[in-house]
Amino acid sequence: MHSYRYLIVGGGMTADAACRGIRDHDADGTIGLVSAETHPPYDRPPLSKALWQGKDESSIWRGTEEIGVELSLGRRIVSLDLDARRATDDGGAEYAYERLLLATGGRPRRLGDDDGVVYFRTYDDYKRLRELSREGGTFVVVGGGFIGSEIAAALQSNGASVTMVVSDDGIGARLFPAALSSFVTDYYRERGVEVLTGERARAGDPRFAAATGVVAGLGIEPSTELAAATGLPVDNGVVVDSLGRVEGREDLFAAGDVANFPLLPLGTVTRVEHEDHARSHGKAVGANMAGAATPYDHLPFFYSDLFDLGYEAVGEVDSRLETVEEWKEPGREGVVAYVDEALRPRGFLLWNVWGKVDAARDLIRAAQPIDVAGVRELAG
């Protein structure tokens, strides 16, 4: 029987950040981390960004074990006994705990039962795709969202020939205003990527057979099976309060991709899947496990590199919202404010505009109407 003061279920960036949040408030409490992956915690963004640009693979490792965390790798927690405070893994090993964190993340949405598709999410996925593309080759990338657009650019920049199959009207169509999505789609075509819009790929697609490899970036679904089987509240993730606690439990928490949490600055409840949230929410909830009792009120941001284009975004960035835009050069440099019916900003897209995330956060928190002049001021 393993026994810990804190048990972390999951092995991603959220899990690592939670361990660090715990250590900020409890230097000596025992921490156990159980992860289905065979690798210790690592940074995920470089898998579709910096590692394709020459950054060394050794840079991704988080060093979680160096802060006094006992890692159990290649193991999956399959059952919880909340009353006894016991967890059991798929090998039959049991873990006793005083406080437990669910940081189980999410699983990629799939096309079907096509085992030849790389559902890009993990370090092993990166290694597999690197090996497939070692001599260039031809690739089909399914999906025009965050992962699909980054992987298509990475492969094309490393000598592969890429076809993107995008079910929407353009790349990034669910985030970007229509004109910007159209610009990015044309830009990818100029860079040599074949982009097929308004098409939906399925398992066994004839285009797959002729390709060196097929990569799918279709988003994720929160891994809530363990929570649901235990009878915990699940609604687009494990439902938690502003401290990351599951309702009615002082000893049970959830954080990161799997948590449906109150986004206090916007007065809503949501789930966020990006790096900044994984780190900030994980650390905050870990601290709360150790007694910090501090509500999470961070506004997460995310960023992306698309060949020579890049952006940072913060708050609610959704193409269904109305926008107020200011462009120094259309498609190349500008700021998009996503606003509600009263023109109050809900989110900002900072397109090739850098160092303005905090200022954008301040405008969202202020909850005052914004016009073109205000957006222009933010753009600098």
| Residue listed under structure tokens 């900030």 | 280
Q: Which of 61-65, 206-210, 256-260, 263-267 has the lowest mean pLDDT?
A: 206-210
pLDDT over 90 (residue 172): yes
Instruction: Return phi, psi of residue 197, to 5°.
Output: -100, 160
- What is d(CA 187, CA 214) in angstroms, rounded to the nearest whole number? 22
User: What Cα–Cα distance (Å) separates residue 189 from each residue in 20, 123, 154, 197?
Assistant: 43, 28, 14, 12
DSSP three-state, residue 227: helix
Please report the pLDDT score of residue 88 as a whole number.
98
pLDDT over 90 (residue 84): yes
- What sections of 143-274 are H helices per DSSP? 146-157, 178-190, 206-209, 225-229
pLDDT over 90 (residue 220): yes
235 burial level (CB within 10 Å; 0-12, 13-18, 19+): exposed
What's the chain's average pLDDT?
96
Q: What is the mean pLDDT of residues 367-380?
A: 94
Q: Read off the pLDDT band of 231 (50, 70, 90).
A: very high
253 contacts 290 by C-beta, under 8 angstroms: no
Q: What is the mean pLDDT of residues 80-98?
A: 97
DSSP three-state, residue 319: coil
Q: Read off the pLDDT band of 1 (50, 70, 90).
A: confident
Q: What is the CATH number of domain 308-379?
A: 3.30.390.30
End-to-end CA gap in the chain: 59
Please report the pLDDT score of residue 266 as a whole number.
96
DSSP three-state, residue 131: helix
Q: What is the mean pLDDT of residues 61-79?
A: 98
Please report the pLDDT score of residue 203 as a whole number.
76
Edge-to-edge strand list for the sheet holding 322-329: 301-306, 309-315, 345-351, 333-339, 322-329
Per-residue pLDDT tens over the stretch 3-19? 999 999 999 999 999 99
CATH 1.10.1740.10, domain 110-216, yes or no:
no
- What is d(CA 378, CA 380) in angstroms, rounded to the nearest whole number? 5
Q: Read off the pLDDT band of 116 (50, 70, 90).
A: confident
Please report the pLDDT score of residue 113 as a whole number.
74
Q: Which CATH superfamily groups domain 2-107+221-289?
A: FAD/NAD(P)-binding domain (3.50.50.60)
Q: Which of 12-21, 24-33, 207-216, 332-341 has the lowest mean pLDDT?
A: 207-216
CA-closest candidate to residue 105, choices 42, 4, 14: 14
Q: Read off the pLDDT band of 354 (50, 70, 90).
A: very high
Please report the pLDDT score of residue 109 as a whole number.
93
167 contacts 198 by C-beta, under 8 angstroms: yes
Q: Read off the pLDDT band of 201 (50, 70, 90).
A: confident
Q: What is the token pair recorded at 113?
A: 């039962």
Pairing assessment for the beta strands 94-102 and 252-254 based on DSSP bridges: parallel
Please report the pLDDT score of residue 206 as a whole number.
86
pLDDT over 90 (residue 204): no
153 contacts 147 by C-beta, under 8 angstroms: no
Asked if the domains at 2-107+221-289 and 110-216 fall in one CATH topology, the answer is yes
User: What Cα–Cα distance (Å) separates residue 37 from each residue in 21, 33, 104, 149, 366?
Assistant: 22, 11, 11, 25, 42
Per-residue pLDDT tens over the stretch 299-320? 999 999 999 999 999 999 999 9
Task: Give the H or E element holding residue 272.
Answer: none
14 contacts 105 by C-beta, under 8 angstroms: yes
Q: Percentage of the chain with pLDDT > 90? A: 94
103 contacts 15 by C-beta, under 8 angstroms: yes
Domain regions of the chain by residue span: 2-107+221-289, 110-216, 308-379
Q: What is the pTM of this model?
A: 0.95
Q: Which of 83-97, 195-209, 283-297 has the lowest mean pLDDT?
A: 195-209
Q: What is the mean pLDDT of residues 358-371?
A: 97
- What is d(CA 270, CA 261) in angstroms, rounded to the nearest whole number? 6
Q: Which of 74-88, 108-122, 147-161 has the lowest mean pLDDT?
A: 108-122
- What is d(CA 206, CA 147) in angstroms, rounded to the nearest whole number? 23
Q: Which of 42-56, 107-121, 323-337 has the lowest mean pLDDT?
A: 107-121
pLDDT over 90 (residue 249): yes
Residue 250 DSSP label: S
Please report the pLDDT score of residue 207 as a whole number.
86
